[in-house]
Amino acid sequence: MSQSEALLVEREGGVLTLTNNDPPINRMSFEYMDALEAAVEEAARDPEIRVLVFTAAGDKDFSVGMDLKQLQSGSAARGGPEAVFDQRLRVLAAIENMDKPSIATLFGYCLGGGLELPLACHFRLAAAEGAQIGLPELDLGAVPAWGGTARLTRCVGRDAALDLILRAKKIDGPEALRIGLVQEVHPLSELKAAALSLARELAAMPPVAVAGVLRCVVGAGEAPLAEGLAAERAAVLRCGSSRDQAEGMRAFLEKRPPVFTGE
C-alpha cells in the first residue's frame, strides 16, 4: 500500500492501520482525505486485509476535524464546498458499509469530522483521560456536515444526540462510554495498543461470517424486520457453503483453535 505525508499506512498481517499524520491536532486536510479515500478503496479490494484501524499521530488529539482555512481558500479548485463535503460523505459511507470491521481511537480533541469519522466505524475506543468528544459546529453557526447528526442519533439516541449537538458539548471518554458512544475506555498510554489487540482478535474471525454480520447489522439493521431476516438468511446460506464454516465445525469437534482463510 502507498502512503502520503498526510496519511501513514501500516500493515500487520490482516490489520491495516491508517494514521492521520498532522500532529499535534491532526486536521483532516484535503490531502488526508484524498489519501484516505484511495487507501479505503484499496483495502476493500484486498482479501488479505480483514480489519482497519483509524488513528492519528502523537498522543495529543485524534482530530480537530476539517482544516477550515484550507476549506475557505482551496475549496473552489475542488468544485466548491459541496464537492468537498460530498467526498467526505463518500469516504465515511465506504468505511461504514465495508465488509470488514473498522476501529477508531478517540483521544484529545475529537471534534466535528474528528468524531464523524469514528461514528462511521464499527468500534470506537476512547482514552480514559483527556478526551474532548463532540460536534460543536453550532458554535460556528453551522450544522454537522459529514453525517454526524444521523449517525450520532443512531448511536446514542435522539435525546443524547440533541444534548450534545444543540449545546455544542464536549464529553470525555467515561461519559462517552456511559451513553454508548464508545464500546471501551482505556488509559491514553494503552489506547492504541488496545485498538490493535481488538483488531487482531477480529482479524482472526471467519471473514465470510464477519461480512455477513456486518451486512445484517449495519446494512439491514435499520430496515424493516422482514428485510433484516432476509439479510440474515442470505448470510447463513453463504456461510453454509464456505470452507471457513466447515473448518470451524471441524476445529470445535477436534478441540483446537480454528484457522479461517476467508474461503
Closest CA to 126 of 138, 149, 108: 108
* C-beta separation of 187 from 196 below 8 A: no
Instruction: Please spell the DSSP secondary structure of 25-61, one letter per residue.
Output: TT-B-HHHHHHHHHHHHHHHH-TT--EEEEEESSSS-
Closest CA to 6 of 70, 51, 76, 49: 70
* C-beta separation of 208 from 262 below 8 A: yes
Chain mean position to CA 180 = 15
In this structure, the chain runs to a length of: 263
- Is residue 10 part of the annotated active site? The answer reads no
Closest CA to 17 of 116, 105, 96, 115: 105
Q: Which of 48, 137, 175, 227 is catalytic?
A: 137
Q: Which of 116, 175, 232, 254 is catalytic?
A: 116
d(CA 183, CA 108) in angstroms, rounded, equals: 17
* C-beta separation of 9 from 2 below 8 A: yes
- Is residue 227 part of the annotated active site? The answer reads no
Strand ranges for 120-204 from DSSP E: 123-127, 132-134, 184-186
* Catalytic residue numbers, as ranges: 116, 137
